[in-house]
């Protein structure tokens, strides 16, 4: 189907929760293509999903082999890829706990919330979770309540009881939100949707100290900043402290829907038999894909690559900020970077698209970049050149 024809059918048959701008028919590495074969550099990675690249050989092969052998068997029966993946996730977390598998970021956070409530029920009848303003934790009723942004909560009253909000990077605000009912503090090491804002070391260490002092669980949402995105396996590993629980999804299985909740030893056996469940969670197909993703990150040294290419991209973005007054600030970590715009970031993203580069918005005034960690340096440099031309057209003509 041609793009125009497809878009017409899209509008007719899909609920209008999204308004896609481009039809993508195929992809390879860091590039995606329309049905008409127009090529774009994808600096979105399907919103932080393809950390190892689109249609990467190792993942394609693992998925093809696994689906032909055993695609699903339910959690009433055990399967090898699931056990291998859980072991690997426990190893690369260094938390010494256990894993619960599900199918998305929202579900992984939902699992964290339920685990915290169960633990709280056994530890003083506590249930309230403090989350951060400008956070993003998903779109189920519980996780949209956890999300500290009113635009995605509007019209869904009554929201889930048991959440309180604090300001990110403001320890006093977190202290003020804690009551005798508080059981956990939940945060992203680097806020993604909220505007690509890294936590400060002082804040992360302060939250950990508060959790220790008041017997609370520290929960990190690693759905966007995990799986090597920041140059470490997990965003929180850029700080001096460890959470009790953290969640992963987006890039975990390179596009096969998957989520996971990973615990330390203390929280490893809070969920007992039939306390929580998922039909698809941790099925052999998703687990085989995730094992392939982790292998590629290790073999191709993509943690260092994220760090190195992040430095390259941040330098380029800073040069844009130096050149144009409309670009206020550049921030982020590894290959999770944001360019703060004086105003609406959409025209910038649209202009980049006109020049065949795909980027994202975040937080109302940020252009967000989540390139594949495997993107060739020469391709990244070419994408930067294309963005430079786009900005020249957008800002120079606007000023003339």
Ligand X SMILES: *Cc1c(COP(=O)(O)O)cnc(C)c1O
Pairing, β 96-102 against β 39-42: unpaired
State which residue, 282 or 384, has the beta carbon closest to ligand X. 282
Q: Determine, following the binding rule CB under 6 A, whether residue 110 of this chain makes contact with ligand X.
A: no
136 interacts with ligand X by CB under 6 A: yes
CA Rg value for the chain: 21
Q: Which member of 50, 117, 118, 137 binds ligand X (CB under 6 A)?
A: 137
128 binds ligand X (CB under 6 A): no
Query: Within 13 Å of residue 94, how many CA atoms lie on the same side as its CB?
Result: 8
Q: Does 192 bind ligand X (CB under 6 A)?
A: yes
Does 230 bind ligand X (CB under 6 A)? Our answer is: no
User: Checking DSSP bridges between strand 357-358 and strand 327-333, what pairing results, if any?
Assistant: unpaired
CB nearer to ligand X: pick between 70 and 152: 152
Q: Are 281 and 104 in contact (CB under 8 A)?
A: no
Question: What is the C-alpha separation between 213 and 207, in angstroms, rounded?
Answer: 10
The stretch near ligand X (CB under 6 A) out of 8-16, 36-44, 99-107, 233-241 is 99-107
Where does this chain touch ligand X (CB under 6 A) — which range of 71-79, 118-126, 219-227, 349-357? Answer: 219-227
> What is the DSSP code string of 44-63?
SHHHHT-TT-BT-HHHHHHH
What distances in angstroms separate CA 119 from CA 221, 246, 269, 324, 364, one per listed residue? 18, 15, 10, 51, 36
With respect to ligand X, which residue has the nearer C-beta, 128 or 193?
193
H/E element, 369: strand 366-369
Tell me how crowded residue 168 is: count the other CB atoms within 10 A of its CB. Answer: 23
Residue 309 lies near ligand X (rule: CB under 6 A): no
Supply the minimum distance, in Å, between the C-beta of residue 265 and ligand X: 25
User: Please, are residues 3 and 35 in contact by the beta-carbon 8 Å criterion?
Assistant: yes
Q: How far is the CB of 333 from ligand X (least distance, A)?
A: 14
Residues 243-262 that bind ligand X (CB under 6 A): 249-250
Q: Looking at 247-326, list the stretches that DSSP marks H as alpha helix, in order from N- to C-terminal side.
A: 284-299, 302-323
The residue range among 85-93, 94-102, 221-229, 309-317 that interacts with ligand X, by the rule CB under 6 A, is: 221-229
- By CB under 6 A, tell whether 195 contacts ligand X: no
Q: Which is nearer to ligand X, 177 or 252 (CB)?
A: 252
Q: What residues line the site for ligand X (CB under 6 A)?
A: 104-106, 109, 136-138, 188, 192-193, 221, 223-224, 249-250
């Amino acid at each position: 189907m041609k793009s125009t024809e497809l878009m017409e059918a899209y509008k007719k048959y899909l609920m209008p929760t999204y308004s896609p701008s481009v039809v993508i028919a195929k992809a390879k590495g860091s590039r995606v293509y329309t049905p008409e074969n127009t090529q774009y550099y994808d600096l979105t990675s399907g919103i932080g999903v393809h950390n190892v690249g689109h249609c990467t050989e190792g993942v394609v092969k693992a998925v093809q082999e696994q689906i032909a052998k055993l695609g699903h068997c339910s959690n009433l029966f055990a399967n090898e890829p699931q056990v291998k993946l859980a072991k690997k996730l426990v190893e690369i977390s260094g938390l010494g706990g256990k894993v619960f598998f599900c199918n998305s970021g929202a579900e992984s956070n939902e699992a964290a919330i339920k685990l915290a409530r169960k633990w709280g029920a056994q530890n003083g009848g506590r249930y309230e979770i403090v989350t951060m303003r400008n956070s993003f934790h998903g779109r189920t009723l519980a996780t949209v309540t956890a999300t500290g942004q009113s635009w995605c909560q509007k019209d869904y009253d009554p929201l889930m009881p048991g959440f309180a909000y604090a300001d990110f990077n403001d320890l006093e605000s977190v202290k003020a939100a804690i009551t005798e009912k508080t059981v956990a503090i939940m945060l992203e090491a680097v806020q993604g949707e909220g505007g690509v804002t890294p936590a400060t070391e002082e804040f992360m260490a302060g939250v950990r100290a508060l959790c220790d002092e008041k017997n609370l669980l520290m929960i990190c949402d690693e759905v966007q900043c995990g799986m090597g995105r920041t140059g470490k396996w997990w965003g929180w590993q850029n700080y001096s402290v460890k959470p009790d629980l953290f969640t992963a999804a987006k890039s975990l299985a390179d596009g096969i829907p998957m989520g996971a909740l990973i615990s330390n030893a203390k929280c490893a056996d809070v969920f007992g038999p039939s306390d929580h469940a998922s039909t698809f969670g941790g099925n052999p197909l998703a687990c085989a894909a995730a094992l392939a993703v982790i292998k590629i990150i290790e073999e191709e040294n993509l943690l260092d690559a994220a760090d190195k290419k992040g430095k390259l991209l941040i330098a380029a973005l800073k040069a844009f900020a130096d050149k144009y007054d409309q670009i206020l600030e550049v921030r982020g970590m590894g290959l999770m970077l944001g360019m703060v715009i004086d105003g609406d970031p959409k025209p910038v993203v649209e202009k980049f698209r006109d020049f065949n580069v795909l980027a994202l918005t975040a937080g109302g005034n940020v252009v967000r970049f989540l390139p594949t960690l495997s993107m060739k340096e020469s391709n990244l440099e070419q994408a930067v050149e294309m963005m430079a031309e786009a900005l020249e057209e957008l800002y120079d003509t606007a000023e003339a």
